[in-house]
Amino acid sequence: MGMEAQDASGARLNICDTELYSAHQAFSAFREAVAGAFMPWSLERPPTNEFNARIANFSTKFVSFGRTRMTPLIGVRNKPEISKSPELCLYANYVISGRLVVEQGGKTTAANKGDLIVYDSTSPIRHIKLGDGAFEDLSFSISKSHIASEGRIFENVAIPHAKIIAPLANCFEFISQNISSASPEELSAIGAACAALLAVAPGRSAEQQDSEAFDFMSGRHAREMMHFIDAHLGDSELSPRAVAEHLGISVRYVHKQFASVGRTFSDYLKSKRLEHISFDLVSDAGRHQLISNLAYRWGFNDLSTFNRAFKKKFGCLPSEYRAKF
């Protein structure tokens, strides 16, 4: 009961809307639509009896992209799914609403509204799509035979909204608004542009990206200071004084560096700790651990303070965040 349109070049638009299916058939229909658009995935049915999704997918010989709105769920590609895939691809997800957590290659990345994650089709992966009510994104699958780039760029890389180059952001906006109404010629052109731009979007090495994270501070000790803080996030005694003593600088200098970018030391520290805990809550390694243990692990020594901070940042308590999956 999905809809399909195809032009003379073989490019095709498929639309699958689970409202056209019975409650019993809806999840299976969506799973088949995902496999047809982006190769096999193992999808874990959400713990709710109701599942709703709509995917509008456009495919050419080398590129497939689609806009999806769905009940939040978990997707996995392990050896069985990878072995059934006919070609090697670059995958990418641009988040429209909700939050996406990707686990691949021993690394966990996350994307919120406006962020992008690029990753490889040939390595095992776990997708966790979170959202209040619905998760929305643009998904891309680009054949590696169409990309003349080093393989290293395909590893699990998150690109924040502010780092997405303008031409690519414009492509995302066009697809979001017009995928169901644009002509096949327009969609083919946009697909080709996205394939070229996505191939270079994460092209800088992880080391270079990490280096850029320190550019917002201009002091000569900024890099060492941020490295030290990030390496000691789990230390509940971490403080501006501890940083200053380690680097042989003044406490006033530490505060001045954060003030220069409109932040405070404590705000940065709390935000980084909460990000790590949010990853652990839904990761394979952390999802079965006590929430209190995760909080203590990342430097919180007061659970009421931790719960208030988590709810302020993510809009729900840690237990509610985890309960979604």
- Which amino acid would we find at residue 78? N
Q: What are the residues whose beta carbons fall under 8 Å from the beta carbon of 143, sequence distance 6 or more?
A: 61, 62, 63, 87, 88, 89
Using DSSP's 3-state secondary structure scheme, residue 80 falls into helix
**pLDDT score, position 203:** 56
**pLDDT score, position 7:** 54
**pLDDT score, position 220:** 67
Domain boundaries, the chain: 3-203, 210-323
- Decide: 129 and 73 in contact? Cβ < 8 Å: yes
Give Cα separations from 303 to 37, 44, 237, 295, 307 (angstroms): 44, 31, 16, 7, 6
Task: Enumerate the H helices of the chain as residue ranges.
Answer: 23-38, 79-83, 166-178, 184-200, 206-212, 222-231, 240-247, 251-259, 265-282, 291-297, 303-314, 318-323
- Which amino acid would we find at residue 303? L
**Other C-beta atoms lying within 10 Å of the C-beta of residue 57:** 24
pLDDT by residue for the chain (325 residues), tens only, comes to 454 555 545 688 999 999 999 988 999 999 999 988 888 899 987 766 688 999 999 998 889 999 999 999 999 999 888 888 877 888 999 999 999 999 988 788 899 999 999 998 888 999 999 887 789 999 999 887 766 554 445 678 899 988 888 889 999 999 999 999 999 999 999 998 988 888 777 654 344 444 444 445 656 678 888 889 989 999 999 999 999 999 999 999 999 888 877 789 999 899 889 988 988 887 777 888 999 999 999 999 999 999 999 998 888 899 988 886 5
Q: What is the pLDDT of residues 29-41, one digit of tens each?
A: 999 999 888 888 9
Task: Residue 128: name the closest of 281, 291, 320 by CA.
Answer: 281
Q: Please, is 93 exposed, middle or buried when counting C-beta atoms within 10 Å of its C-beta (0-12, 13-18, 19+)?
A: buried
CATH code linked to domain 3-203: 2.60.120.10
CATH code linked to domain 210-323: 1.10.10.60
**pLDDT score, position 17:** 95
Q: Please, is 201 exposed, middle or buried when counting C-beta atoms within 10 Å of its C-beta (0-12, 13-18, 19+)?
A: buried
Sign of the CA dihedral 209, 198, 114, 97? Answer: negative
Looking up tokens 């060492």 gives 224
